[in-house]
């Protein structure tokens, strides 16, 4: 969702940095893009559509300015258009602003400013910000003072960056929307996410809610709401710039599916010891939890959380799973013994952050399970466990889901003292078995046969139920075809009415509930629907299915992880044959930072 990039320095061409950064932010999802450069006056270029279209329209790096800001917009207030694209300026084009988030009181501010004579050119909430700055400048404020006064008027979530004409400083503020600052040798950077400037520097400062920053060629100054300078730590991001490239694959999604064995090895490294029969997560050494456990998450992360909650219950712990957007700490029993686990790939998901903050206020202990070091969830929670999947650029989560499941299996071991030798052995063998799935999968042939289906159903029981939900979500996200996932036993309680010979059913059949799931397969076959079984028992199950996607036996807890990979591949190949925009599905964003 909406991306910000900024650069102030002398070592690189400003326009080149901004366009490179905008390209690096495309994975977040967007419908328009633009940038502004201070070079005496303000040079502003923006348009609806892709970054490549913007790049084709602008002159080739002809700006001499020292500071600039750029933005990829995911529409909230107003449709995609050139006028609604960021940056936005004031009446006299003295200041340009980019903004992520939602200004909740923008309508009142817009009415006030319009009454005072300000003219608006867009439908966005963002445009009130440059006009507020303009008003402060007219009253004698300096750029820094004007920026602060404008931000003080805002209600809601925001990451804001502003650049003034003839000024090499970028002014920045954040509240409930991510911003990271990059420390370079020949200039300094800011962005919504590290990949935007990763090829220039891996040294970062994470801005906190309520903090302001001034980014200039000479350095970065972070201050609090009162203007007092804050001493900030500089962290190093352990990501290789090449990790964010396609490495010869047609799509990021396919590359990231094939990176899953490596991602798993990183997730498990130094945590699972088959020799010592232990699961040890150093980040959680101080975590003590004996009370109930509540998971909060959204989308793919919610499906992972369902898996984790079931693992914990089976190992004797009280565990529940909630959609973060529906989590209400006022109506859910919470004590100081409650542990609330936020599962969030980016560590910035607005609904999940809101749930975690509510849990903190209610007295619970909070734990973030996330992929991003220094993210909001990692900083604000009492504890954090990293899944170590590396950068994931494709909007549809793949390797992060697999790594979340593996991390949750380890978390279950830690929280339930479940250092089972069998689970440990299965975890250690999981990356190689996943590689086997990738090497031997026939998912492309299945996709070819069923690419013209009317709809797709996914069913599974127990640990396979979240996999069915995730399989359907992937199909929806990247193919734009109708897909639904169900706990297998629920199929006959209504959805069976939709089953026809043109609705293939993907049945995940592993573990002790296989016999019951086979019964559900027979129900749909009796209605003429083709069945594709994803199973670790192809000989036993194959007789009941039209096709089989085989997976190795990785034990009752982990085999569903392998089944999920087969479904990822099916969705990818269906989308590929339909010529969909696989890495940037319509209307979707990688990191959803608004509620």
Residue written as token pair 């001493």? 231
Q: How far apart are CA 573 and CA 588, in angstroms?
A: 19
- 362, 459: one domain: no
Q: What is the pLDDT of residue 404?
A: 97
| Residue-level pLDDT at 376 | 87
Q: What pLDDT, on the 0 to 100 scale, is given for residue 242?
A: 57
Asked which of 439, 466, 487 is the last residue of a domain, the reply is 439
**Where a domain ends, among 422, 439, 456?**
439
Q: Are 213 and 261 found together in one domain?
A: no
Instruction: List, in order, residues 6 or more apart from 457 with CB less than 8 Å away.
Output: 472, 483, 484, 485, 486, 491, 495, 498, 499, 503, 504, 505, 506, 524, 529
Active site residue 298: no
**Domain span at residue 368?**
241-439
Pick from 477, 506, 318, 273: nearest CA to 412 = 318
Residues 361 and 445 in one domain: no
Tally the domains of the chain: 3
Task: Output the six-digit token pair for 267.
Answer: 């997730």
In a domain, 298, yes or no: yes
Residue 518 buriedness (CB in 10 A; 0-12 / 13-18 / 19+):
buried
Asked, for residue 592, whether it belongs to a domain, the answer is no
Note the pLDDT of residue 519: 82
- Rounded CA gap, 33 and 74, in Å? 9
My answer on whether 537 and 458 are in the same domain is yes
The answer to whether residue 537 is domain-embedded is yes
Tell me what pLDDT residue 29 has.
67
- One domain, residues 363 and 456: no
Which tokens is 455 given?
A: 């709809």
Burial class (CB in 10 A: 0-12, 13-18, 19+), 61: exposed
Low-confidence ranges of the chain (pLDDT < 70): 1, 27-29, 61-64, 239-245, 418-419, 589-595
Within a domain: 593: no
Residue 169: the pLDDT is 96
The one catalytic residue in 255, 433, 584, 590 is 590
The answer on 418 and 554 residing in a single domain is: no
Residue 32 lies in a domain: yes
DSSP-assigned states of every residue in 287-308: ----S-EEEEE-HHHHHHHHHH
DSSP letter string over 440-502? H--HHHHHHHHTT-SEEEEEE-TTHHHHHHHHHHHHHHHH--EEEEEEGGGTTTTGGGG--TT
522 belongs to the catalytic site: no
Q: Are residues 452 and 528 in the same domain?
A: yes
- Residue 581 inside a domain? The answer is yes
- Are 435 and 455 within one domain? no
Instruction: Based on the fold, state whether residues 172 and 231 are members of the same structural domain.
Output: yes
Residues 6+ apart with CB under 8 A from 330: none
Examine the fold and report which residue of 237, 272, 289 is the final residue of a domain before the chain moves on.
Answer: 237
One domain, residues 135 and 265: no
Give a yes or no: residue 103 inside a domain.
yes
**The CATH number of the domain where 97 resides is what?**
3.60.20.10
Distances in Å between the Cα of 415 and the Cα atoms of 286, 402, 408, 418 are 12, 20, 10, 8
Same domain assignment for residues 478 and 528: yes
- Report pLDDT for 466: 97
Structural domain contains residue 311: yes
Q: Are residues 95 and 39 in the same domain?
A: yes
**What does each C-alpha distance from 140 to 134, 143, 491, 518 come to in angstroms?**
10, 9, 68, 76
Residue environment code for 448-458, b if the CB has 16+ CB neighbours within 10 A, otherwise e: eebeebebbbb
Q: Are 42 and 163 in contact (CB under 8 A)?
A: yes
So what's the pLDDT on residue 515? Answer: 81
CB distance 104 to 155 below 8 Å = yes
**Catalytic residue among 2, 267, 321, 381, which?**
2
Which CATH number belongs to the domain containing residue 290 in this structure?
3.40.50.10490
| Gap between the Cα atoms of 548 and 556, Å rounded | 19
């Amino acid at each position: 969702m909406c991306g910000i990039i900024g650069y102030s320095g002398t070592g690189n061409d400003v326009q080149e940095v901004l366009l490179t950064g905008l390209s690096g932010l495309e994975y977040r999802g967007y419908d328009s893009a633009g940038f502004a450069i201070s070079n005496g006056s303000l040079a502003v270029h923006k348009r609806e559509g892709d970054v490549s279209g913007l790049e084709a329209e602008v002159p080739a790096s002809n700006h001499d300015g020292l500071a600039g800001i750029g933005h990829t917009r995911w529409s909230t207030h107003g449709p995609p258009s050139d006028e609604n694209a960021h940056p936005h300026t004031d009446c006299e084009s003295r200041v340009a602003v980019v903004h992520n988030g939602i200004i909740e009181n923008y309508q009142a501010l817009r009415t006030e400013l319009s009454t005072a004579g300000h003219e608006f050119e867009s439908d966005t909430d963002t445009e009130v910000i440059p006009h507020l700055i303009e008003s402060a400048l007219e009253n004698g404020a300096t750029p820094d003072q004007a920026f602060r006064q404008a931000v003080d008027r805002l209600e809601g979530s925001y990451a804001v960056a502003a650049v003034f004409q003839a000024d090499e400083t970028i002014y920045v503020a954040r509240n409930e929307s991510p911003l990271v600052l990059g420390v370079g040798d020949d200039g300094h950077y800011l962005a919504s996410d590290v990949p935007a400037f990763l090829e220039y520097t891996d040294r970062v400062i994470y801005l906190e809610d309520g903090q302001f920053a001034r980014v200039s060629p000479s350095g970065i100054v972070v201050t609090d709401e009162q203007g007092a300078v804050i001493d900030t730590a500089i962290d190093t991001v352990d990501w290789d710039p090449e990790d964010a490239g396609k490495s010869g694959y047609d799509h990021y999604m396919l590359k990231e599916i094939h990176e899953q064995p490596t991602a798993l090895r990183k997730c498990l490294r130094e945590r699972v010891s088959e020799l010592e029969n232990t699961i040890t997560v150093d980040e959680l050494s101080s975590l003590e939890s004996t009370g109930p456990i509540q998971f909060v998450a959204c989308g793919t992360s919610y499906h992972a959380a369902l898996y984790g909650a079931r693992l914990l219950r089976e190992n004797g712990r009280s565990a529940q799973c909630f959609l973060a957007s529906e989590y209400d700490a006022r109506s859910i029993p919470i004590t100081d013994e409650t542990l609330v686990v936020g599962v969030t790939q980016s560590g910035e998901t607005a609904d999940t952050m809101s749930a975690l903050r509510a849990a903190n206020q209610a007295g619970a202990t909070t734990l973030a399970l996330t992929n991003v070091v220094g993210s909001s969830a990692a900083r604000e929670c009492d504890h954090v466990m990293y899944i170590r999947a590396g950068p994931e650029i494709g909007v549809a989560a793949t390797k992060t889901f697999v790594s979340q499941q593996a991390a949750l299996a380890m978390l279950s071991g830690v929280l339930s003292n479940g250092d089972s030798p069998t689970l440990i052995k299965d975890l250690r063998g999981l990356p190689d078995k996943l590689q086997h799935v990738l090497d031997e999968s026939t998912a492309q042939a299945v996709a070819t046969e069923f690419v013209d289906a009317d709809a797709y159903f996914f069913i599974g029981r127990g640990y396979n139920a979240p996999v069915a939900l995730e399989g359907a979500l992937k199909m929806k996200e990247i193919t734009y075809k109708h897909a639904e996932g169900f706990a297998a036993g629920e199929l006959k309680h209504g959805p069976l009415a939709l089953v026809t010979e043109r609705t293939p059913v993907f049945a995940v059949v592993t573990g002790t509930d296989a016999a019951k799931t086979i019964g559900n397969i027979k129900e749909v076959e009796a209605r003429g629907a083709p069945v594709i079984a994803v199973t670790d028992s192809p000989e036993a199950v194959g007789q009941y299915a039209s096709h089989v996607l085989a997976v190795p036996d990785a034990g009752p807890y982990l085999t569903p992880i392998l089944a999920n990979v087969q479904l990822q591949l099916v969705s990818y190949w269906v989308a590929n044959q339909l010529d969909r925009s696989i890495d940037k599905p319509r209307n979707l964003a990688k990191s959803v930072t608004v509620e």
